[in-house]
Amino acid sequence: MKKNWKKLAVLTLLGAQVATVSLTSYSVLAEESSSAQSVDLSAETEAYKKFVSAEIDQLLKDTENFAKLIQDGKLDEAKKVYPLIRKSYERSEPIAELFAESDVKIDYRLADYVEDNQTEEGWSGFHKIEQILWEEGKTEPAVSYAKQLVDDIKELKAKVATVEVTPENMLTGAVDLLNEVATSKITGEEEIYSHTDLYDFEANIAGAEKIFNIFKDKISAKDPELAKNLTEKFKAVNDLLASHKVDADHYKLYTELNEKETKALAEAVTKLGEPLSQMAVILEADESGR
């Protein structure tokens, strides 16, 4: 991922302006969390940590296989699994991105790396490998980067094992996942060499939906209409994404979508954004103070 944004920007997508949706920021959640001391969400945070740990385990396993394909010179196979591997990272970003140094090594885009460092030197991770595989059409130059990526993910796995997950991590993480869809997936800026943005799009939505599902019982108890609305809005986005699949596991290239299709995706994300930002209702203690 790239730099976090706390609000959805006004997106101009192929000439079609998408309405701005204000999402809950870290500061707002921090203020509301003062009332969360009476709300026991320990089961939910533990469930989410197990989910993220499993995702990182899968990421490591898949990336080791990816590195082996690259080492063996299997270009087409490596390119085919690339977007599938990345989904585990994209789903777990609310926790993975707490470790900024690892995120830079694993998932930084070239544009963001150069902006921060004024040079391409030192850039690594998935997107460096993506550039080599698609732009150069070779595996040999990517071998060392693939090996380093495996090591960096092992390091991330060790860090994730020690993290203390909080409700605020989860709530702001869900919002940030949607922000990422709006700021880099919908605009096609994430996978600029492979154009496999729809895989990341799906994974970000799935990551946010996982957080919603973990909190769903609590949300339903506080605000049944909000829970119903979120369920419907997630389904709408997922159904729209599914319409762009070419088989059970693979999507069209993002560049194959037309203006009408990209606008529909943007509008579906916008409609999901507003209710998603209201999930912090679970942090509010009820009137009895329990």
Mapping DSSP to helix (H, G, I), strand (E, B) and coil, where does residue 248 land?
coil
Report all structural domains of the chain as residue ranges with CATH numbers, in order of start: 22-33+41-283 (1.20.1420.20)
Q: Rounded distance, CA 94 to CA 204, Å?
A: 10
Q: Rounded distance, CA 237 to CA 266, Å?
A: 9
Distances (CA, A) of 261 to 14, 67, 178: 11, 34, 18
Residues 6 or more apart whose CB falls under 8 angstroms from that of 16 comprise 259, 263, 266
| Pair type for strands 16-18 and 11-13 | antiparallel
Distances (CA, A) of 231 to 20, 182, 275: 21, 20, 10
Helices 42-71 and 197-222 cross at an angle (nearest 10°) of: 170
**What does the mean pLDDT of the chain come to?**
87
Task: Report pTM.
Answer: 0.87
Residue 26, pLDDT > 90, answer no
> What pLDDT is attached to residue 179?
86
> What pLDDT is attached to residue 171?
95
Among 84, 276, 39, CA closest to 172 = 276
> What pLDDT is attached to residue 33?
47
| pLDDT tens digits along 122-176 | 999 999 999 999 999 999 999 999 999 999 999 999 999 999 999 999 999 999 9
Please say whether the beta carbons of 82 and 133 come within 8 A.
yes
Residue 28, pLDDT > 60, answer no
| pLDDT tens digits along 223-241 | 999 999 999 999 999 999 9
Task: State the average pLDDT over residues 19-47.
Answer: 60
Q: How many CA atoms lie within 13 A of 188 on its CB side?
A: 18
| Band of pLDDT at residue 199, cut at 50, 70 and 90 | very high
